[in-house]
Structure 1
């Protein structure tokens, strides 16, 4: 009859094997992602950011050298990680949508003239938060094939509007998601104390009203509204006749990090030492 020590020992061995398998899988995925950079299929933007409710074009095309060499009809297939069915498929010079996931019904298309030249870029219309995720674009012909992974991120953002009255400068914004933060700064970059009210509607969109009291005239203030993905920076010039502004948007390139195998090595070594100690 097995002793408790033996049971614990073999349990640890099973766990070590399981974790080792996971490490191998992660390495394989990392290598496959790296290999996409040498594929004959590339994307101009592998981490696009779409504004919710608007359309987005996911870039996918053959490299110049591959496009020159292509022969025969070109087929394009788009899939999405963890989603059954296909996002879109174009083959034999026509859409093939029998296996299309209902989420994308009537909302996706490629462009036949572009496909014939090796460009399989996909248009997704009226983007929703459900569209966020990793897509794979595969292009093939009679003499070549390749694929590229594209991580589509979604957010809602809009340009703020400004008004000034009785010495109070007010910024208003709508359609922000995830929830944003706002910051007022003076012309020297010093953070100022404003009063901000956020409102969330039933769809999860945020709007805000932010006020800065006792502003100087004339002077310039900077107003920033940002969430994890988007930052809107507005330079507001307050004069005796009102306020003028110029707003620029910047977008985060951050994505969900791939877990490094080294994060598992220390726990695995600890498990092994524990298992040996139990024998």
Structure 2
């Protein structure tokens, strides 16, 4: 005889998979209508505050019969705005009704349009640029669109300094406020003292110093991460006072389908919860 907790758990599992089937059906319909012609290799890019970002959008010119460049129409819009972000038609930008927020900050790659590139370059990214964009392409009877969710953060590689056996990492631009973790190559977590200084714009400078003595020929890993960006930096002490360092970035932004996958992955946790 199943317990009440087990009945509730399996009912929730059934509900989750019914919702999964419904979402997959909707995605399949949307993809069949547009993704075969228009698609994006990155639907959740993270723009670095104050720098440029490319919103990726590609279309398949092979699906256009007798394609001519002057047949291609490209329109970029943003959810919540009534005016377009960018419009391209008749081989030229049509910006008469462009939203003022994007004036002088957007452009396509005209030489690449014939090859199927409808990507948008957005310059000097600001926090208000964050949101859902749609790239729509039409040409000679073929049309389609794809949505891209732009996230905005501030991130920078740390600069390492060494004073005798003291190792410090300083990164001048982070938002949202990050966490900092130090490890050695074996994976052991090291104690460190970390301070955050934010400017009038709310951007954080991170200064983190190892509490333990740093040793020559040892490699130390400093991980600075917030909800959107992870910066993994490795610093190797060389000689009496030298060091070498490198930083790799990864991004935590996720498409709705990835978030839904996360929901499925926590199902075992629900099981444990309802049985306790």
Q: 1:168 to 1:97 in 2, by over 3 A?
A: same
Within 5 Å, give how 1:121-270 maps onto structure 2.
121-218=119-216, 219-239=218-238, 240-255=240-255
Per the alignment, residue 103 of structure 2 pairs with: 105
Tell me, yes or no, if the aligned pair for 1:39 and 1:148 is still in contact at 8 Å. Answer: no
Looking at structure 2, the residues matched to 143 and 259 of structure 1 have their Cα atoms a distance apart, in angstroms, of 35
Per the alignment, residue 14 of structure 1 pairs with: none
Tell me, yes or no, if the aligned pair for 2:234 and 2:247 is still in contact at 8 Å. Answer: yes
Looking at structure 1, the residues matched to 258 and 222 of structure 2 have their Cα atoms a distance apart, in angstroms, of 34
Listed as ranges, the gaps of 5+ residues in structure 1 are 1-22, 264-279
Looking at structure 1, the residues matched to 259 and 231 of structure 2 have their Cα atoms a distance apart, in angstroms, of 31
Per the alignment, residue 86 of structure 2 pairs with: 88
Per the alignment, residue 15 of structure 1 pairs with: none
Looking at structure 2, the residues matched to 224 and 173 of structure 1 have their Cα atoms a distance apart, in angstroms, of 11
Q: Name the SS of the counterpart of 1:126 in structure 2.
A: coil
Bigger Cα Rg? 1
Q: Which whole-Å deviations, capped at 9, do the CAs of 1:123-154 have from their partners, x for residues lacking one? A: 11111111111111111123211111111111
Looking at structure 2, the residues matched to 52 and 106 of structure 1 have their Cα atoms a distance apart, in angstroms, of 17
Q: 1:202 to 1:35 in 2, by over 3 A?
A: farther
TM-score under structure 1 normalisation? Answer: 0.76
Q: Name the SS of the counterpart of 1:115 in structure 2.
A: helix
Within 5 Å, give how 1:51-70 maps onto structure 2.
51-66=48-63, 70=67
The reply to whether residue 44 of structure 1 matches residue 41 of structure 2 is yes
Q: Runs of at least 4 residues of structure 1 off by over 4 A?
A: 26-33, 255-260
Q: 1:33 to 1:50 in 2, by over 3 A?
A: farther
Instruction: Report the aligned-residue RMSD.
Output: 2.6
The count of residues paired between Structure 1 and Structure 2 equals: 237
Q: Name the SS of the counterpart of 1:145 in structure 2.
A: strand
